[in-house]
């Protein structure tokens, strides 16, 4: 499937997390336009929307999640791939995929040591 900025994607079938009643909790992911439209105040994704959704799905399935965030990495032939750029043109490698109240979106963020 081809996705674009502004799409709100139902990821429920891709992830399938059980809720407290044993049912399947709905999971939506929104591709925010302002992280793809060269907005000078926001970090910008360089990877495709499909790669971003896949990164989100893998991070949730791998349980790379915190209270409000999921974290992922993208490798290409064993090398860490740049996924975005900051508003200061810094190379970004770490996707922060927000998970608040079943509404998901993400941004490329700085790696800190």
Question: Is residue 63 predicted with pLDDT exceeding 80?
Answer: yes
| Domain assignment present for 19 | yes
Domain for residue 1, yes or no? Answer: no
Structural domain of 63: 8-109
- Average pLDDT value for residue range 34-40: 91
| Region 54-77 average pLDDT | 82
Q: What's the pTM value of the predicted model, to 2 decimals? A: 0.76
Residue 2 lies in a domain: no
Instruction: With respect to residue 73, please indicate whether it lies within any of the assigned structural domains.
Output: yes
81 contact partners, CB below 8 Å, separation of at least 6 = 47, 74, 75, 93
* CA 25/CA 112 separation, integer angstroms: 33
User: What's the angle, vertex CA 77, arms to CA 107 and CA 42, rounded to 5?
Assistant: 15
Q: What are 71-89's pLDDT values in tens digits?
A: 788 888 999 899 899 889 9
Residue 3 in any domain: the answer is no
pLDDT band for position 112 (cuts 50, 70, 90): very low
- Rounded average pLDDT over 18-44: 80
Average pLDDT over residues 15-30: 70
What pLDDT, on a 0 to 100 scale, did the predictor assign at position 105? 53
In a domain, 14, yes or no: yes
- Residues 7 and 26: beta-carbon distance below 8 Å: no
Percent over 90 (pLDDT), the chain: 14
The total of structural domains in the chain comes to 1
Looking at residue 113, its pLDDT comes to: 38
């Amino acid at each position: 499937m081809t996705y674009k900025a502004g799409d709100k994607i139902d990821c429920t079938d891709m992830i399938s997390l059980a809720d407290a009643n044993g049912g399947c909790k709905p999971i939506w992911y929104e591709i925010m336009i302002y992280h793809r439209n060269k907005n000078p105040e926001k970090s910008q994704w360089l990877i495709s929307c499909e790669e971003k959704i896949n990164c989100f799905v893998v991070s949730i399935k791998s349980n790379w999640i915190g209270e409000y965030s999921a974290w992922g990495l993208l490798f290409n032939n064993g090398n860490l791939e740049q996924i975005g750029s900051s508003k200061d043109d810094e190379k970004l490698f770490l996707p922060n995929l927000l998970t608040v109240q079943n509404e998901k979106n993400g941004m490329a963020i700085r790696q800190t040591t």
